[in-house]
Amino acid sequence: MKQISLNGPPATGSIQLDYLTWAGVRARLGFDQSQRSKTAGALAQCYREAGLRSLFASMGFDWRAIAAITLHETGYGTSVAAYHNNLWGISYYSKTAGKMLPYAYDTMAQCCEHLLKTFAAPRYLEAMMHKANGPAFLDYLNGAGYNSSEAWRKGVQAAYNQLLQAS
């Protein structure tokens, strides 16, 4: 099993993300799709308990920006991709289906690893230079083509603002 080391909580010093699944997180934290602000608060708690908050913060990210992408890309936890532990809507083009399809992961750790590899691409260099500033990071990601639609930009900014209020 892969462990992700952290420079902070929890007390053990590392998190075993390989055991965490989105379905388990949703069930334990009681996500309520009718109240997006409540979902934002539950996701903030999930990021804290799963060590994602500390993990991204230790890498210099504003963790709320990463969590805002999770909220928006999963439709506040309701998407099929989320149930396959794809927290950031990472997709690929399927020639067979003739369209973009979301990746499916066994664990949230696999998806986290894929996201970090995605951010390492040269087109995201400018965004990565602003990773500590959530709103700027999200704008630069949008401009670099992570998702270049205005609706995406507005959606993740709204989710970011909800996370600011919830945490």
Q: Can you give the CATH number for the domain in which 49 is found?
A: 1.10.530.10
Q: Are 80 and 102 in contact (CB under 8 A)?
A: yes
**Which is more confident, 35 or 98?**
98
- Amino acid identity of 60? G
Q: Are 127 and 144 in contact (CB under 8 A)?
A: yes
Q: Is the pLDDT of residue 30 over 70?
A: no
pLDDT value, residue 123: 95
User: For residues 19 and 85, what is the distance between their CA atoms, to the nearest angstrom?
Assistant: 11
User: For residues 131 and 141, what is the distance between their CA atoms, to the nearest angstrom?
Assistant: 10
| Residue 100 Ramachandran class (φ > 0 left, ψ -120 to 50 alpha, else beta) | beta
**Which is more confident, 157 or 32?**
157
Q: Is the pLDDT of residue 6 over 50?
A: no
- Percent of the residues in the chain that have a pLDDT greater than 70, as a whole number: 77
Q: pLDDT tens digits for 109-156?
A: 888 888 999 999 999 999 999 999 999 999 999 999 988 899 999 999
Q: Are 38 and 163 in contact (CB under 8 A)?
A: no
**Which is more confident, 46 or 92?**
92
Structural domain containing residue 81: 4-166
Q: pLDDT tens digits for 75-122?
A: 877 777 777 888 888 888 999 999 988 888 887 788 888 899 999 999
pTM: 0.78
Paired tokens of 52: 């994602």
| Number of domains present in the structure of the chain | 1
**Which is more confident, 41 or 101?**
101
User: For residues 104 and 111, what is the distance between their CA atoms, to the nearest angstrom?
Assistant: 8
Q: CA end-to-end span of the chain, whole Å? A: 31
| CB neighbour class for 97 (10 Å; exposed up to 12, middle 13-18, buried from 19) | exposed
Residue ranges with strand state E in the chain: 4-5, 14-15, 91-94, 99-102
